[in-house]
Amino acid sequence: MKKNISKKIYEIQKKIRIVEEKIASNYNQNRMRCPTHLSIGQESVAATSGLALSHNDISISYHRSHAHFLAKGGSSKKLFAELHGFDEGCSKGVGGSMHLIDLKNNFYGSTAIVSNSIPVGVGLAYSLKLAKKKNLVCIYIGDAAVEEGVFFESINFSVLKKLPVVFICENNFYSVYTHIKERQPKKRKIFKLASAIGATSHSFKQDNPFKLFQKFDELFKKIRKNPMTHFVEIETFRYLEHCGPNDDTSLGYRKLQEVKKWKKKDPLAFSRSYLTRNKILNKNQIEILDKKININVDKDFNFLSKLKKPKFKDIRKLVYKA
Amino acid sequence: MKTSYSQAINKALIEEMKRNKKLVCFGLGINDSLNFFGTTKGLEKKFGHDRVFETPTSENAMTGIGVGMSLNSNPCVMMHQRLDFFLLAMDQLVNSAAKWHFMFGGKKSVPITIRLVVGKGWGQGPTHSQSLQSWFSHIPGLKVVMPTFPKDAYNLLKKAIRDPNPVIFIEHRWLHNVEQETKKIKYKSTKYLPELISKGADFTAVSYSLSTIEMLSLKKMLNKNKVSFDLIDLKSIKPLNISIIKNSLKKTKKLLILDSISHPICSVGSEILSQLYREKNIKLIKPPILLTLPDVPTPTSTYYTKDFYIKKADIINNVSKLVGKKIKFVSNDSNLHDVPDSNFKGPF
Ligand SMILES: Cc1ncc(C[n+]2csc(CCOP(=O)(O)OP(=O)(O)O)c2C)c(N)n1
Ligand SMILES: [Mg+2]
């Protein structure tokens, strides 16, 4: 793997982590007044798939989408502004954390109703096919999404029409406070379910982001060449509460032990030591890089203080396109 | 003793589960650590997870499954933490639950109660704040109730559960902590009828759910300004019985409908106005006032919701117009407009 790609893999993960931590540490100021689902712990999936997607590939996501948005090139400035409800936000503050968009980078949107964006992603892929474009649509979903009927209907159609779609299922084992074993049959793997419907299915691991990137990269190249519907399941873990900035182990729905186990194999920490171990960057260089990311994220966050409070009358006209 | 709305619901559920061993409750979050805003506390422990269970995120199927159980002698209470999530289930609600009794010649009915919670504030935004009572009311075969106070929530939930027909039971999230002084709550057989909850002379106010709380909160201040009003709390949207409204209007001849959790077109308020317009003996001396949300989806940003939701000042200015009197008041529409109290922090 090229050195600059390895560096990039680390950099994107780190940036997502820092952005999310910035949100978490400021959330209690009560200025980000919207339900906010953080991706801390799940960054490597977004970072590596985002990097493997080409500019003209499309991605679309669900309620936990900050990482996907950033990894496709979305601006942290616009993300912060969106969460704070400013007109300068990526959705003008109308949508909030759960409705992000960045058309410049072909991030077509994230939506808040479970599975809502799945058929939309398939539709986007159908248009790619009609236009004979050599690109793909990446549909990010959580583990609960496959419980909705619309998932089955959409993937069936996608397989039927040989659409260039890759589903990336971030299985973090929980839907809000409910473990997957209370929602889905114990021994049935999600990727096998997708395979039975006819999608080419894969189970990837997040622990080594560099390997993960290579797998995505190969897969996406294949899909661009030979349009087909693929499904990737990746087991991952969110470190913080389902919605909001806090640790929520005190609720008792998951054990501290479980959280610790996942934190111990943190993909970001792996990437960091990988860079030094393989002499891609030394400790000092990494620190400089981290500092640079931190400074930029701070700058993006501090820019908010200059913004004017928007008014309802300015968005009334958005209901219909003139 | 004080009982909160969520405690009242919890009590009703527990008692009905005891009373009818065949009753089943299910929904996302029903057995998690937060017990569905406290309303399902202790339910699973008391009645076991066969009768009280978590569901997959499968709203449409679970509604149909509830219909099936209801048809086969297991009445159901199904619940959704936001009404918006239930929109995935429109086929099973409208084509199955609502019509089953009619389309099979009255052979079997569907005793299912569907609890839906409406969100507001803290950026609930376009897809976590919809209150679609008007939609549901449009469907023959459904009943729609929206109690405001704990006692009514208790009585009407029990009534809904015992009803042999599908009932949509809509709870505004901001009502869950509303408390009411109660000695001992006991079931009082109720009807799906509005109630005159406060008497006055100058105009008739009609409201339901959270809007009744909003209207009631103005009473003292209006009284100080020598303005008094009849306040009618609808409680039941369908069936909708307007006799009590008619009686009040014969006295006051002035009407204000506060439909503040609904969009304007085909709203509960416009339905009431339409029914009144067709009445012989109703003569209003001022055009009636209907206050609703704008015909715009809920925005997320707190800067936008400030002017999206109806403010106290809006209501007062309209009352002033209606009664032809200047009203003095101190505006306390604080920047906390998007939370029910200062302790409330999103997201739910
Ligand atoms: C149709 C629908 N039902 C329920 C919800 C409530 N809800 C919000 S997030 C969520 C959890 C979904 O879990 P998963 O897909 O695994 O994503 P995760 O939050 O774990 O990232 C649920 C049930 C919703 N938004 N939409
Ligand atoms: Mg999950």
pLDDT tens readout for residues B270-281? 999 999 999 998
Q: What is the DSSP string of B122-157?
A: TT--TTS----HHHHHTSTT-EEE---SHHHHHHHH
Regarding the beta carbon of B57 and ligand 1, being less than 6 Å apart is answered yes
Minimum-distance ligand 1 atom for the alpha carbon of A148: 1
Q: To the nearest whole angstrom, how far is the Cα of B294 from the nearest Cα of chain A?
A: 9
Instruction: Collect all residues with Cβ–Cβ distance below 8 Å to B300 and sequence separation of at least 6.
Output: A34, A85, A93, A94, A95, A96, A99, B123, B124, B125, B126
Both B143 and B170 in one domain: the answer is yes
Per CB-CB distance under 8 Å, the chain B contacts of A175 are 28, 57
What does the pLDDT read at residue B304?
97
What's the CA angle centered on B190, arms B179 and B98, to 5 degrees?
Answer: 100
Share of chain B above pLDDT 70, in %: 97
Assess contact for A213 and A48: CB atoms under 8 A: yes
Q: Among the residues of A62-116, which ranges form H helices?
A: 66-71, 76-83
More confident of the two residues B118 and B341: B118
Asked whether residue B188 is assigned to any structural domain, the reply reads: no
Both B29 and B151 in one domain: the answer is yes
What does the pLDDT read at residue B185?
85
Does residue B335 carry a pLDDT above 60?
Answer: no
- Closest C-alpha among A275, A279, A263 to residue A17: A263
* Mean local confidence (pLDDT), B166-182: 95
Which band of pLDDT confidence, cut at 50, 70 and 90, is reported for residue B338?
confident
Residue A142 CA to ligand 1 center (angstroms) comes to 8
**How many CA atoms lie less than 13 Å away from A269 in the CB half-sphere?**
7
- Closest C-alpha among A76, A90, A97, A91 to residue A31: A97
Both B32 and B99 in one domain: the answer is yes
How far, in Å, CA of A196 to CA of A200, rounded?
Answer: 9
Asked whether residue B345 is assigned to any structural domain, the reply reads: no
Asked whether residue B291 is assigned to any structural domain, the reply reads: yes
Asked whether residue B104 is assigned to any structural domain, the reply reads: yes
Residue A143 CA to ligand 1 center (angstroms) comes to 9
Asked whether residue B346 is assigned to any structural domain, the reply reads: no
* Substitution candidate for ligand 1 out of A175, A182, A190 with most atoms within 8 A of CB: A175
Look at A113 and B87 and tell me if their CB atoms are within 8 Å: yes
Asked whether residue B264 is assigned to any structural domain, the reply reads: yes
Q: Which ligand is nearest to the CA of B79?
A: 1
Regarding the beta carbon of A176 and ligand 1, being less than 6 Å apart is answered yes
Strand partners of residue B118: B172
Both B41 and B74 in one domain: the answer is yes
Is the backbone peptide bond immediately before B297 cis, with ω within 30 degrees of 0?
A: no
Assess contact for B238 and B139: CB atoms under 8 A: no
* Mean local confidence (pLDDT), B322-338: 82
Per CB-CB distance under 8 Å, the chain A contacts of B38 are none
Assess contact for A293 and A15: CB atoms under 8 A: yes
* Substitution candidate for ligand 1 out of A111, A139, A172, A176 with most atoms within 8 A of CB: A176
ipTM: 0.96
How far, in Å, CA of B213 to CA of B272, rounded?
Answer: 20
How far, in Å, CA of B144 to CA of A143, rounded?
Answer: 33
What does the pLDDT read at residue B346?
54
Q: To the nearest whole angstrom, how far is the Cα of B196 from the nearest Cα of chain A?
A: 35
The answer, for A95 touching chain B at a CB cutoff of 8 Å, is yes
What's the CA angle centered on B22, arms B17 and B28, to 5 degrees?
Answer: 65
- Closest C-alpha among B80, B136, B54 to residue A182: B54
Minimum-distance ligand 1 atom for the alpha carbon of A142: 15
Both B123 and B156 in one domain: the answer is yes
Minimum-distance ligand 1 atom for the alpha carbon of A42: 21
Q: Which of residues 154-193 of A touch B (CB under 8 A)?
A: 175-178, 182-184
Share of chain B above pLDDT 90, in %: 91
What does the pLDDT read at residue B183?
84
Both B17 and B119 in one domain: the answer is yes
Could you say which of B126, B127, B302 has the minimum Cβ distance to residue A85? B302
How far, in Å, CA of A280 to CA of B24, rounded?
Answer: 60
Give the alpha-carbon dihedral of A71, A72, A77, A80, to 10 degrees.
-70
Structure tokens at B201: 């002379």
* Mean local confidence (pLDDT), B42-66: 98
How far, in Å, CA of A141 to CA of A60, rounded?
Answer: 9
Look at A99 and B126 and tell me if their CB atoms are within 8 Å: yes
* Mean local confidence (pLDDT), B293-307: 97
Residue A98 CA to ligand 1 center (angstroms) comes to 11
Q: Give the CA distances from residue A316 to residues B126, B214, B298, in Å, rounded to whole numbers and listed in that order.
A: 13, 24, 10
- CATH code of residue B275: 3.40.50.920
- Closest C-alpha among A94, A48, A85, A87 to residue A70: A48
Both B270 and B213 in one domain: the answer is yes
* Mean local confidence (pLDDT), B318-342: 83
Both B6 and B123 in one domain: the answer is yes
Pairing mode of beta strands A137-142, A165-171: parallel
Does residue B345 carry a pLDDT above 70?
Answer: no
Both B199 and B176 in one domain: the answer is no
What does the pLDDT read at residue B348?
61
Structure tokens at B43: 């339910």
- Closest C-alpha among A142, A111, A301 to residue B300: A111
Give the alpha-carbon dihedral of A147, A149, A152, A154, to 10 degrees.
-120
Assess contact for A49 and A28: CB atoms under 8 A: no
Look at B127 and A98 and tell me if their CB atoms are within 8 Å: yes
Both B135 and B269 in one domain: the answer is no
Work out the burial of residue B295: count CB atoms within 10 Å of its CB; fewer than 13 is exposed, 13-18 middle, 19 or more buried.
Answer: exposed
Assess contact for A158 and A132: CB atoms under 8 A: no
Structure tokens at A259: 């959280």
Asked whether residue B38 is assigned to any structural domain, the reply reads: yes
Does residue B342 carry a pLDDT above 70?
Answer: no
Does residue B340 carry a pLDDT above 90?
Answer: no
Mention the CATH class of domain A3-306.
alpha beta
Both B138 and B7 in one domain: the answer is yes
Q: Take atom 20 of ligand 1 and give the residue whose Cα is closest.
A: A175
What does the pLDDT read at residue B337?
78
What does the pLDDT read at residue B344?
64
Structure tokens at B260: 């503040």
Does residue B13 carry a pLDDT above 60?
Answer: yes
The DSSP code for A254 is S
pLDDT mean for each 10 residues of chain A (322 residues): 95 98 97 97 98 98 98 98 98 98 98 98 98 98 98 98 98 97 96 98 98 98 98 98 96 96 98 97 98 98 96 97 94
How far, in Å, CA of B82 to CA of B78, rounded?
Answer: 12
> pLDDT tens digits for B235-260?
999 999 999 999 999 999 999 999 99
What does the pLDDT read at residue B333?
63
Asked whether residue B227 is assigned to any structural domain, the reply reads: yes
Strand partners of residue B111: none
- The model carries a pTM of 0.97
Range of the domain at B225: 195-323
Q: Per the structure, how many domains does chain B have?
A: 2
Both B146 and B28 in one domain: the answer is yes
Structure tokens at B278: 């067709």
